[in-house]
A and B are shown apart, each in its own frame.
Chain A
């Protein structure tokens, strides 16, 4: 089935140790999003790609970077994770074509723990 896959589902890292989260999709959608969701809070958009066009939110910390080497894959790199970066990280995709909207398909998320 076409879907959005995130790996790993659970990631434990140490304070300051770089970590990479991955997202892949078989939907051939042109837009991919990364959200951070902390406990009891709404998902917060970190950045999104419209095709290869990267869009960073103004308040996304510099510690967070992203790569999209091709349509199917997108990575979230956290260069020096702090305790405050512990959260669920959600990847989503959508197909943006005229007359349609961002019906988003979310992956299952990666829960990041920082020790």
Chain B
């Protein structure tokens, strides 16, 4: 059965800290890995990763995929209270199915 596992499930850090969120997957027909940020509303898209080893960056957020290890990390540097959210990892497979992990709940203390 295809699955996506995220760790940690929750994380509390102080403003200014750097965090690394992990995502591993077992998906038969992998196409791409997706990261989303969810606050008190619908998820918003962050990154799509298809190729191994190529870092994607958006401001203080960056992510990279390791297809050999079947995993991805999402880094957030110099965290701010506005980064508090649930971060969802999902895998898009070649049958056009998107399988979500349970998410990492990140809380940034001022």
Contact = CB atoms under 8 A, between A and B. Distances in A.
B42 A109 contact: yes
Interface stretch (B13-21, B63-71, B74-82, B97-105): B97-105
Nearest to A50: B96
Given A55-B96, A57-B97, A101-B48, A41 B42 contact: no
A2 interface: no
* Chain B interface, >50% SS class: strand
Contact of A107 (B42, B45, B102, B103): B42
Contact of B34 (A31, A55, A102, A109): A102
Contacts of A50: 96
Given A101-B32, A101-B92, A33 B98 contact: yes
Contacts of B100: 42-45
A50 B96 CA distance: 9
A23 B31 CA distance: 27
A26 B18 CA distance: 38
A102 B48 CA distance: 8
A42 B103 contact: yes
A9 B34 CA distance: 26
Nearest to B97: A45
A62 interface: no
Interface residues of B, number: 22
Contact of B41 (A96, A101, A104, A108): A108
A103 B102 contact: no
B73 to A, nearest CB: 18
Interface in B14-55: 31-32, 34, 36, 41-45, 48, 50
Contacts of A105: 45
Interface in A29-66: 31, 33, 41-45, 48, 50, 55, 57
Interface of A: 31, 33, 41-45, 48, 50, 55, 57, 90, 92, 96, 101-109
